[in-house]
Amino acid sequence: MDFSVKSGNPEKQRSACVVVGVFERRRLSPAALQLDRACGGRISSLLRRGDMDGRSGQTLLLHNLPRTLSDRVLLVGCGREREFGERQYRSALESAIRVLQDTGATEAVVYLTELNVKGRERDTYWCVRRAVETAEETIYRFDRLKTGKDGARRPLRKLTLALSSRRELAAGERAVREGAAIAAGVRLARELGNLPANVCTPAYLAEEARALAKSSRRLKVEVLEKADMEKLGMGALLSVARGSRQPPKLIVLHYTGGARGAAPVALVGKGITFDSGGISIKPAAAMDEMKFDMCGAAGVLGALKACVELQLPINVVGVVAASENLPDGDASKPGDIVTTLSGQTVEVLNTDAEGRLVLCDALTYCERFEPEVVVDLATLTGACVVALGKHASGLLGTHAPLVHALIEAGRYSGDRAWELPLWDEYQDQLKSNFADMANIGGRDAGAITAACFLSRFTKKFRWAHLDIAGVAWKSGDQKGATGRPVPLLSQYLLDRCDGAGPAARRRRARAGD
């Protein structure tokens, strides 16, 4: 979709549709009030008649208002004005985009971006960028494998986002560029996550990485094959792949936007393209959703896509550990002991705790890049879903400033994370009578003990872990990948480029550069 920003009176917009907000008790937003005055009170008259009262999610489409230049005006309910925060703003945008899409409007001018959103840093830049990201998310459909695509209506192609002043144009234009870049990364992650496991194999992920690398001179890719991993001694990762006919891949992407020799940020993704649980096989119900077990890998590729689009002045290394986890006569068995790339040994008590096995070797591999920080992302534990539900990623780490920066990036981007403790006391749950450690720590604190396991392979760098099992996809009628945590990671990388996080964001938004 094409996005642009402009300032101007709503009644003077030549457009298929102008979108304005209405708060509860029929209180008109500034743009809606301007339209009402221009058309002689027609809008307020309709509201008094009971057609709409401004509750969140309500919409009312008006045609041919007198003394206005747009074909239609869409009123969008915003709820109570004093409670109009991030959630309500997003809901209003989603409602507007759905109506525009359903009614066949190919373009529109949206005045919701002028509304005052409660909360820190909810300025013009934030409102415009969130509008771009929300619009792209709302219109997304995964239909590439459907033969009977719905072509009855023309798709929404262009949105113009209104600003209250010409002084805000520079900040708005930057917000459009950055929002579109992050949305492109989210879309790539969603596409990969939604593909079935018979299409999206480890080899497919490697080809997608190569295709991404061709899009920018700043991006290079290398793919380690099974023989390379055997030579290196990646016994943990290879143990997971033993049950599959699809060979594993370790995909390494180098984005060089910063100074030569500057330490990179390393992003490490779990890429289990299908997880049956192996010999410790999962229940059949909802096992189809285990195609989403590679959403950590998709998130790494999506974040690098955003880096390319934004041309960020930073060095980033993306590492994807890709494999299937299936039962087979040669599959790893409960009780097997494997030797990791670090030389530490692991007793595999549960083959369904495979994500930490592929990640531990990938984390050790990152040492050769001498990274400034390392962030891994993985659909790692059901325990994290129990703890935090579908709203926040679990966040654990060994470097407090890194953890804080990720939390701030999540808060600003709306892709939130919540810190869980990583205390030494939890390490005792990983004791093994036969190896250096077990790959599970029992029922209690499952998300934490999984991170404790990974922490044993991160002694040589600053590290944080994002457990995205609850946020990477949705179930039910809305089943599909979400693209998270690409917004969080993209914001974190933007903040590192700014050098001062939220304070720099505010200065940049005001300056528009």
- Positions annotated as catalytic residues are 282, 356
Residue 94 backbone zone (phi > 0: left; psi -120 to 50: alpha; other: beta):
alpha
Nearest to 132 by CA among 442, 490, 493, 497: 490
Nearest to 264 by CA among 367, 403, 186: 367
* Beta strands at 107-110 and 17-23: parallel, antiparallel or unpaired: parallel
Q: Name, in order, each residue with C-beta under 8 angstroms of 286's C-beta and a sequence gap of 6 or more.
A: 475
* Beta strands at 480-481 and 473-474: parallel, antiparallel or unpaired: antiparallel
Angle at 253 between CA 1 and CA 220, to 5 degrees: 85
Q: How far apart are CA 1 and CA 479, in angstroms?
A: 23
Cα-based distances in Å from 420 to 242, 383, 465: 33, 12, 10
Strands in 64-208 per DSSP E: 72-77, 107-110, 158-163
Nearest to 86 by CA among 415, 395, 390, 502: 415
Residue 219: other Cβ atoms inside 10 A: 21
Q: How far apart are CA 409 and CA 395, in angstroms?
A: 12
Contact 2, 135 (CB under 8 A): no
461: which 2 tokens? 């760098």
DSSP 427: G
422: which 2 tokens? 């990583």
Beta-sheet strand order (sheet of 336-339): 336-339, 345-348, 437-438
Which residues in 487-513 are b (16+ Cβ under 10 Å) and which e?
A: bbbbbbbbbbbeeebeeebbebbeebe
Q: How far apart are CA 108 and CA 162, in angstroms?
A: 10
Contact 99, 61 (CB under 8 A): yes
274: which 2 tokens? 């299908």
Contact 373, 463 (CB under 8 A): yes
84: which 2 tokens? 């109009």
